[in-house]
Structure 1
Amino acid sequence: MKHFAFRKGLVFIRDEKKFTLLRRLMDGSFQLESEDGELIKCSEAEIILGCSRGEWVIDDAELEAPLVIDPKISRDLSTFSEEEQRKANRKDEYLRRVTGGQKFVMNYEKLEKQIAQVAVELNDPNPPSALSLYRWNRKKQKGRGSPVDLVDRFEQRGRRLSWSKTVKDIVDKAIEEVYFNHQLYPKVAVSELVETRVGQWAKKLPPDNEIKLPSKSSIYRYIEKLEAYNVVSKRLGKSEADLRFRSVKGKQIATRLSERWEIDHSPLDILVICEKSFKPLGRPWLTITIDKYSRMIVGFYLSFREPSAYAVLQCLKQAILPKDEILAAYSDIKTPWPARGIPETIVCDNGMDLHANALISFCQELGIQVQFCPAKTPQYKGSVERVFRTIEEGLIHQLPGTVFANIDARGDYPSEEKASLTFSDLQHLLIKWIVDVYHLTHHRGLV
């Protein structure tokens, strides 16, 4: 399934016929026109589900801005300082509001008016110029298309090097071999290696072609200008770099919808029975994805499988796609479940099974950044950790067959005898509780 956004002029192919998206109607559905002039009306959910099944295909030739993904980028926005995050998010907000999801067009007069309008909406006394907006858009196009591309990189500024290309290559290689080493060699080791190799190179050159040895201080300055996050990542490991440079300790912040989805697993405190024998099967595992900004549960996966990459993928599949078909199966659920879309970052446990190629490849294809939490850091996904307790106390502990949170709470309650819910019953109750209770209950952490 391709990564796309609904916009006027987007072309789909269905049954070997092209359909062009014309407009969004008052009821939220879309009007499309076929090649022969036929007008059809489709809901957003119908198109997205059709694309996921291969019934609808996006015409690649009509995509004006194909998604560019750089799998080498591993740093996320939260590893920068709060000020750098604020500035990057401000730039991204201007770009999103001015373009409205459409292709960026460099029209000075039009852009200046749009920028002025956005500045009023954001209460920004110092709006950017049209040229600045153009440069920010170029950065996002060349990068992965996220606010990370808009972070100011001050380490790249300063006076230019007077080194020749040969000397710079020697210094870069020396840094890679010596300084980017878990032995934690000092900067002087780099300088000494550079001196040795420049001397060896000089012997190969004719007398009239000299090579200038860089000073020790210039090498030190060059090393100090390297991005600190990358230096720590190379010398001490990525986990240590993430811990050192994450600006918010103990509390992860999201500033918009789908910026950060947290995923976690937990066995539910209830015994489920077999639909045929009516004997207890055991406690099912629940995998949940929650949107950090809204605290909305965007998807879940219930099974008897223990935590795995498969469970995460199934949970993400439900989270990304519309929920219309899921809700249509239950006539007693009337509340909509509008959660869908592609997140910027997903946060999950650091188990080896979750590093599976299938999960990594899936996220890279959709431009999703995966953040694996270091051990003993529950604050990295505190929102989803808390929602499990809410589910247990608000739903599971009130159902027949619950085993409660511990032996003391259970007392002499006969869980095996009281168990009466099948797997499908539990899934039905869970969906109803999510959309009719949890999503409609005020969250104290939100304004």
Structure 2
Amino acid sequence: MSWERGRKCSEARRSPWATSRGVACAQTLNWRLPPKVLCGCLAIRRLVMVRFHFKRGLRFLENGLVWVLQRRSATGKIMFEEESGESPSQALTVSEVYEKYLGEHWRVDESSLGPGKELMFSTPKDIRALGDRDAECAAMRGDYLTKLHQRLVAEGERWRCVPKLFTHHLKNIARERGDKKAPGWSTVWNWWKRYEATRCITKLADHRRTGRTRDVVQFSVFEEVIAEVFLTPQKQPGKTVCDAMEDRIQRINEGLSGESKISTPAKATVYRWLKDLNHAVVLRAREGKEASERQMRGTMQGLRVNRILERYEIDHTPVDVLVVCKLTRMVLGRPWLTLVIDRKSRMIAGFYLSFHAPSAYSVLYALRMAILPKDDLLKAIPGLHNPWPVRGLPRLIATDNGMDLHSHALETFCMDAAIELLFCGVAHPEMKGAIERLFGTLSRDLFHTLPGTVFASIDQRGDYPSGDLAALDLDTLTMILVKWIVDKYHCTPHRGLGGNTPLYSWQEDEASTSIDLPAYPRQLDVMVGQSANRTAFKYGIEYDCIRYNSDALLSFREEKKKSPIVEIRVYEHDVSFIDVLDENLGEFIRVPAVDQAYCQGLTRHVHLMVRQEVNRRFGNQWQQQQLLEVKREIQAMVAAAMKAHKAGKRKQAAAQSMVDSNDVLNQHKAAFEGARRPSGMDSEEFLHTVPSASPLPKYTWESHV
């Protein structure tokens, strides 16, 4: 029995269908193959179906030589280098590699198989990838080859080209199939030659030509030119390639004569070759590795978050609206918006709107709003119809990897609140995909519908006069943003939530989630401050040349013989007070500045400007009256800058005055302690310096909707 089975398998191996690929293709077309052939195909299935992928480092063995795959060229060829370096490198097409591999001239080195980062090609297409017409044509030709082979085997003939014998059998086969005309013996033999090397039925399909022939010499010159000129970071245009080819061919022809000279290809031909280059290779060479990876990356399954408060994402963006001064109605510029979003529910947890550049300070104030409940805020702002239930301490915060965010204040805040801090990679916005998507929604649905909006490009802007139509001050913009968040965005179905709204997703998980809040809300005020250590002397604590003292601070000196070193928290928005840690009670106590006349309502940025100007004028011989005088001058300069003709100076002045969303919301909710603007900006003296002008009509949310 084993001998009989081996004889059948031996006969089947001589059949043109003796490949597993042929069996798969035949079974796909419901062919009835002879049992001998089917048996033989099943017997050698494991020998011919070796599957591999082209990747960097793949090795082929050839008579003692080891060919290592290095890269893929822009023209689609695969570059191989001999491992020892004794043989020149080869540039082969995919078909040529498959021919060497299936013809057993090359053998795959099994030690080089396995997953790789750069998957270049897969196995060739099968008959199912062909069209119906091509599949029927390949099946017909395969049927002729099969039946012809069977007849020759039955007569004891070897498989060789015998024109007279082929013609006789082909006529009988055509008569059995019902074909009107039998194919010629030379045609069938050409079919066999195409099929013999790879034993793949797809080779029997018609090979349609494009109508154009490619000059091999011209194309080799083209490959050299694009490697030197086109595939470079300089991003040279196609015209440079045409000029370089013309110059290269001209120099080559100087050493040739007569008919051996190379003709210069037409520019249309060069541009067509450039168009056919591999896009991924061209993009990597001209744009760089990171840019090509960003453009070529695929969208797979995103980050999975199981519950609310598991991951907060934070990012900054300039607001696409020009904001005007509330008093002078002059354009200040575009403020910065810091947003906090819950990844699971897509709810906006908090925000911070200001004119100063993004920093850890912006993140801390946005987190402060995100953690605290917002019930009092919603009651203080009229016209809101839906709740804003987001509150609580998150488990993880994902933010940018900028140097300004790698600050001690932010790291200390997360450490004190037991929050994991994650710095996402540079130039990888997909790591914070939810908030990046939210910025696009916010611009399209809100900012671009407001007067004074700005656009990403000149083409999008057209003739729109953003500066002339700007009418929103920071107060109004903050109120509109709150209204949009609470009554529009949170109540709009979200595709990423399966059609549910962010508000519904939060409320659905809220009942099964333990929401932690700080036991003492004032702790958040202390945690957003900058930490420092200072010695408590009898005159108090000195920080940035400002002295702070109180009876509670003096009691620290009664417990220790030497002046104690204490931990303090200072704030950017106000220098009139600091918080000092009482180690015995484990609490921070508030210590006011001694000179309240100078410090009241003064930001730290303006204070440092005052100190710098005083040192420049008077050196170390300065008096308190001089300090107050310079303070008034600095505030006057800020007020003048608010009215400057250049928008850049006005925006810088707004940043120095620390006007932000906390200041706006503080006006509506007294319990919400936010940043305060300098007193000089609100004084009667400042109001008299503003020239009289007809104010623009106030823009409200009701007029917008």
TM class, shorter-length: 0.3 to 0.5
Structure having the higher Rg: 2
TM-score by structure 1 length?
Answer: 0.44
